[in-house]
A = this chain, B = another copy of it.
C-alpha cells in the first residue's frame, strides 16, 4: 500500500506538504495542491486511518453496550445512535452483552485501552472497574434508557414513573380497579420506577395495592405468555393487565386467546415502548410510545459533547413519552 511518503516523492514535495494538502488545503498553494492531488491519484494513496487515530490519540469509536440487540426497542435506539454517530464522524462498536458482566468488561476495557473514546451503556450498571479507571478519574460514559442516577454520568431517560402512572390512570378511567402488572426483572430500576408509577395512580384513585397482582417477567414474549397463562387461570381474575413492555403484552395476549379470553372485553391489555408490532397485533395494543431513535441520538450527542469537554456537570435529559390508546384497552365490564 502506498503511503504518504510515496505521494511526497511522486509529487516532488515533502510529506508535510502532502499532509497539509489533505487536511488543510487552504494552507497550500493551488499549484502544489494540484501536483499533490495528481500524485495521490497516481500512486493510489489511501491514508492509513489507524495511524491517524494512533497519532491523534482519538479513535473516534464509541462503544455501545446493549443488553440484547434482539429487543426491538433497543434496535430502534441503536438505529438512532448510528445516525448521530455518522453525522459526528464517529463509529459505533456494538456489544451485545446479554447481561453478561464479562462481555461488558471486555468491551468497557476498550475505552481504557484507547480503542474507543467513550461508552454508552443502556443498562443500569457501571461497566468500569478499578482496573480500568485512569489517573484523571472517570471514564467518559453516557447512560441511557435504563439508568443509574447518581449524578456521576450524563443520563438520558424517560420519566418511567410518570409514564406508568399515566397508563394506570388510563386503565382506572375505564373503570378498572383490579389491574395486574407483569413486571421486568426486579433488579432493574426501570421496573421499580414503573411499579412506583403504577402504585401512585392506585393510591391517587384510592385503590388498594395488592401484592398478588404482580407477576414476574423479563421483557420477553415467552415470559409474557407464561404470566398470561397464570393470570388466565386465576379464580378472581383482574380486568386489566399492564405489562412493562410490548413483547410481554403480546405474549400474554396470546395466552389469553388460547384460554378463550377476549381482549379487551374480558381483559384489557396495556404495553410499554410502542414497538412496530404493537400496531399490527390483534387487537392493536395500547401502549406508551418512547422516542427510541431520539434516545440513541441524544446519548451519542451527549457523549461527544462530553468528549469535547463541552459538559461541566453531568446533565440529566428526560425524554417525552406519549400514551397511545389503541383497541386492547376498553371499559371494565361487570
Contact = CB atoms under 8 A, between A and B. Distances in A.
B112 A50 contact: no
Interface in A21-35: none
A114 B4 CA distance: 14
Contact of A47 (B46, B50, B113, B253): B113
A97 to B, nearest CB: 9
Nearest to A94: B94
A174 interface: no
Contact of A280 (B54, B95, B221): B221
A16 interface: no
Interface in A49-75: 49-51, 53-54, 57, 59, 61, 68-70, 72, 75
Interface in A154-204: none
A130 to B, nearest CB: 10
A91 interface: yes
Contacts of A83: 96
Given A68-B79, A79-B96, A1 B135 contact: yes
Contacts of A257: 282
Interface string A210-226: 00000000001100110
Interface in A204-252: 220-221, 224-225, 250-251
Given A79-B70, A280-B251, A110 B49 contact: yes
Work out how many copies of this chain go into the complex: 2
B250 A1 contact: no
Contacts of A281: 250, 254, 281-282
Contacts of A91: 93, 110, 115
A135 B45 CA distance: 10
Given A50-B59, A70-B276, A103 B75 contact: no
A76 interface: yes
Contacts of A134: 1, 44, 46
Interface residues of A, number: 56
A153 to B, nearest CB: 20
Contact of A254 (B46, B253, B282): B282
A287 to B, nearest CB: 15
A106 interface: yes
Nearest to A97: B82
18 contacts: A1-B114, A44-B134, A44-B135, A46-B112, A47-B113, A48-B54, A48-B114, A49-B113, A49-B114, A51-B54, A61-B93, A72-B75, A82-B95, A82-B96, A91-B110, A91-B115, A220-B276, A250-B280
Given A70-B79, A250-B280, A251-B280, 15 more contacts: A44-B135, A46-B113, A46-B132, A46-B134, A48-B114, A49-B113, A49-B114, A49-B115, A50-B50, A70-B276, A82-B94, A82-B95, A82-B96, A91-B110, A94-B94
What are the 3 A-B residue pairs with the smallest beta carbon separation, nearest first? A54-B54, A49-B113, A82-B96
Interface of A: 1, 44, 46-51, 53-54, 57, 59, 61, 68-70, 72, 75-76, 78-79, 82-83, 86, 91-96, 103, 106, 110, 112-115, 132, 134-135, 220-221, 224-225, 250-251, 253-254, 257, 276-277, 279-282, 284
